[in-house]
Structure 1
Amino acid sequence: MTKYRIPKSALTVIYNRSGQVLVMQRNDDPEFWQSVTGTLEISELPIQTAIREVLEETGIDIIKHNYQLHDCEKVNQYPIRSMWQHRYPPNTPFNTEYVFAVEVANEHKIELTEHSAFLWLDKKQAMRKVWSDSNREAIELFVPNAK
């Protein structure tokens, strides 16, 4: 039996105290740069997914470091890319994405597990670099302008 993904995810924009935004390059598409993104697991709330995915993808433990994860109260719906459609139940055209943001210390070390590279970019550069419109909008709306 094939285990399909739930068509719901959490997008978490990570930025540091200097206003730089973390963007990561996907392993399966070198042109696709993004913030932390991950699928909800069964019985998991979006905020739990955000915390888990940040830890899994970057090594940043939001709870341990007492970082304040901000629920942006923004929900997006977008078409699932055709190259990823096989991961979802048949006839599932859309994914629902819950948006979060978190500020971390400038010196926080990043430990990639699911991406091939990362960059800390200023807000405008990050908005240009990310692939998806919803990621671009999240950076624009929820990352403070540089201090």
Structure 2
Amino acid sequence: MGSDTRPFKIPESVLVVIHTPALDVLLIRRADANEFWQSVTGSKDAVDEPLALTAAREVAEETGIECGKGTALASQLVDWQLSNIYEIYPGWRARYEPGVTHNTEHLFGLCVPERLTPRLAPREHTDWQWLPYREAADACFSPSNAEAILLLPEFAR
């Protein structure tokens, strides 16, 4: 088990770029690293959890935006069929089983009709902002997150 009896995180996650038709991107600030702005991210809850379910769950948990099956935005959650494998920051490795050093992150996009006001999970995020996509990419601490945002024009067609 991970620290404070939570199970270890599964080293397979999603990154969801939430954007408007005008390519404005929602960024949220991490509570555990205040200088880190990012898109919605999160790990699978179970090894067999479908990635689209992980993406919809994380978006709802982190922003309050509902995009799972049966919601108005369900068709707007798009699996980009791209993934990144990256080294987990050493400070966060204790959340994973001993010896796990890399995570596979699957990219999704979620087009919302306008700049919505998110409902943040205060233990996870402290602030939010909408930025034009190039500015959003520049504001991200994670190179893979920035690269995903820069792909937005290609996937938002």
Per the normalisation by structure 2, the TM-score is 0.87
Report the Cα offset of residue 107 of structure 1. Answer: 4.6
Deviation by residue 1:32-55 (Cα, 9 ceiling, x = unmatched): 110000010112111110000000
Aligned to 1:120: 130
Task: Could you list the structure 1 runs, at least 4 aligned residues long, displaced by more than 2 angstroms after superposition.
Answer: 142-146
Report the Cα offset of residue 30 of structure 1. Answer: 1.0
Deviation by residue 1:71-117 (Cα, 9 ceiling, x = unmatched): 11111000000110100000111000000001102152310112100
Distance 2:96 2:59 in 1: 22
Q: Structure 1 unaligned runs (5+)?
A: none
Please tell me the residue identity of whatever aligns with 1:46.
L
Distance 2:137 2:116 in 1: 21
> How well do the aligned residues superpose, as a CA RMSD in angstroms?
1.9
CA contact (8 A) 1:11 1:36 kept: yes
Report the Cα offset of residue 143 of structure 1. Answer: 4.2
Work out whether 1:90 is the aligned partner of 2:95: no
List aligned pairs for 1:9-88, cutoff 5 A.
9-42=13-46, 43-63=48-68, 64-67=71-74, 68-88=76-96
Number of aligned residues:
147
Distance 1:81 1:102 in 2: 26
Bigger Cα displacement from structure 2, 137-146 vs 89-98: 137-146
Deviation by residue 1:57-80 (Cα, 9 ceiling, x = unmatched): 001001322341111111100000
> What SS does the aligned partner of 2:151 have?
helix
Report the Cα offset of residue 142 of structure 1. Answer: 2.3
Q: Percent identity?
A: 40
Deviation by residue 1:5-41 (Cα, 9 ceiling, x = unmatched): 1001000000012321000100000111100000101
Distance 2:38 2:81 in 1: 20
Please tell me the residue identity of whatever aligns with 1:61.
E
Report the Cα offset of residue 144 of structure 1. Answer: 5.8
Distance 1:107 1:140 in 2: 19
Distance 2:151 2:23 in 1: 13
CA contact (8 A) 1:101 1:143 kept: no
Distance 1:22 1:132 in 2: 15
Q: Structure 2 unaligned runs (5+)?
A: none
Per the normalisation by structure 1, the TM-score is 0.93
CA contact (8 A) 1:21 1:120 kept: yes
CA contact (8 A) 2:23 2:152 kept: no
